[in-house]
Structure formats: structure tokens, C-alpha cells
Structure 1
């Protein structure tokens, strides 16, 4: 009973063709969830902050290590007449002393560590006319100097040499 016309379907309130006449059927687009992107962004930000802090701390630790291991050559020098008692610090802040040392006197030491500090003291002997001068020399330049005049007078030089 097909006379070249499309078949007639009873009216039931539904479309005459399946899927509303569209083939393949067009489904409404899915809504993408936003929360995975937000959580991912927060995690990425956290990882970036932690990584940045680690890099900053690592760089600072490296610079501190370089400074601690850097060495400075220091010359302790005492000039004057007669003799004196001389006290100085060395590489590990250890105190050393030479009593009744003939002047002039000189000692070379290497100082390292975070706070590179040098210290030199001289105390004159018993001669009333005694005079002595202490000097701390770094790279050929006198950094600290002091003079003592008279019996048992003391001169003290100290400071940063770093």
C-alpha cells in the first residue's frame, strides 16, 4: 500500500520520526565541571610556591657555604723596641700567645668561617721607654692599628677581615 508517499503515523503528540528528525541524534552538550580545574590550579600554585621556596633556601645555603669556606690571608705585625707578650687568634678563633717575643714580630694566618674576625694584642715589657704598635694587614692594607707606650702598656687590634 505504498503509493510513493511516506507512511502516515497516527498523531500521538510525539515527533513522527525518531530523534526529532535528526540523525545522528544531537545530544545537548555536557556541562564541564569547574571544581577539578579549581583544585588543580590550587595544587599547581602550592607546588610552585614550595618549589620556589626550596630554590631560594638552596641558593642561600649555597652562598653561606661558600662564605664559610672562603679563606682570608691575614698578617699580624708588631713593631717597636725591646720585647713584649703577643696574643692573637687563628683560623678557628683559637687563641695563641708568645711571651717575651723580640720586636719586630710578624705572623701569617688564614682565617675562615662565617664571621671572619682577627684579633691581635701586644703588652710591653718592663722598660719604661717601651713602645709597640700592633697591625692587622689584609691584602697588603693595614686594616687595624694601635700603639702602646710605657712599661706594661697594651695595644689591641681587632675587627672583621672578611
Structure 2
């Protein structure tokens, strides 16, 4: 059986329609349109998300490093005060850079001012009464704010104050 031919000068039927006689035009049935490829978009989306995560991590690390640098350069003015009656057998205090200072047989009242810098801004003051007893007190002030204060009385009584600068 042969495929019917279009008469000379007659146009084929519109795309997607069959000619009279029920047979498809020469070339077969119409092909569906090609599907667009999705994988490049998915891969691009994944790469974009990874890039945003890495960028966020870099920004966070940079911000933390900047805060640490600022804190290490910040200076805190610390004032140590020891009070009480008579003489303290010893006064022990922390200095800048976690150095420790100690003075013995000190007449009360006593005070010392220190400028602290660096990351560790820990302050401590310990005042110990002597063998004769009495009352002793300690007070730590950082940039005008009272960090700690304590009192003790009796033979070898010890008043201890400590804290950190915020």
C-alpha cells in the first residue's frame, strides 16, 4: 500500500493535524518539544549555597578576630584599696598581664592604681591582718565601677576580693 500524495499545488494540512485519509504526513508523527535540562540549574544552585555558606563563615571569623584584637588593646584602669586598723601583714594583688605583686607589713589604709590591658583582665586583692588581729577590708574598682569588696576581722583575718573587667 502506498502513501497518498498531495495533489500538485495543494498545501499539506496544518502541523499536528492529519490529512484526509487518516495517514500522517511524510516524516511521521509530530515530535513533542524537547525538555529543558534541569541539572545545570540544580548544580548552579548548590554552588551558590556553598559559596554563601563559605562567605558567611569567613565574615564570622573576621568579626571574631576583630573583637579579640579590640579587647586585647582595651585598657582598664584598676584601683586597689586596702583598709582597716593597724598594719596588714601582707597585701597581694594581680597586675597587668597576670603579674602578681605582694607587699608586707603595710600601714593601712593602702591603695594602688594599675592600667590593665591584654585579653586576661582578672583582678584580685587579698589583705591579711597580722598577729595582733584587727579589721581588714579590700575593694577593687575598674574604670569607676566597684568590682568587689570584702571585710574580715580577727587574728590573721583575710579579706579577699576578685573579679574581671567587663
TM-score range, shorter chain: 0.7 to 0.9
The answer (yes or no) to whether the contact 2:98–2:120 under 8 Å persists in 1 is no
Q: How far off is 1:150 after superposition?
A: 2.3
Which 5+ residue runs of structure 1 have no aligned equivalent? Answer: 1-10, 21-27
Which 5+ residue runs of structure 2 have no aligned equivalent? Answer: 13-31
Find the aligned partners of 2:116 and 2:7 in 1 and give their Cα distance: 96
1:149 pairs with 2:153? yes
TM-score (norm 2): 0.72
Count, aligned residues: 142
TM-score (norm 1): 0.74
Mean CA deviation greater in 49-58 or 142-151:
142-151
Give the RMSD, CA atoms, in angstroms: 2.7
* Equivalence for 1:100: 105
- 1:138 is aligned, of 136, 142, 146, to 142
1:112 pairs with 2:100? no
Q: How far off is 1:110 after superposition?
A: 2.2
Q: How far off is 1:120 after superposition?
A: 0.2
SS in 2 for 1:40: helix
Q: How far off is 1:118 after superposition?
A: 0.9
Runs of 4+ in structure 1 off by over 3 angstroms are 11-17, 28-32, 112-115
Q: How far off is 1:57 after superposition?
A: 2.1
Distance 1:35 1:99, change over 3 A: same
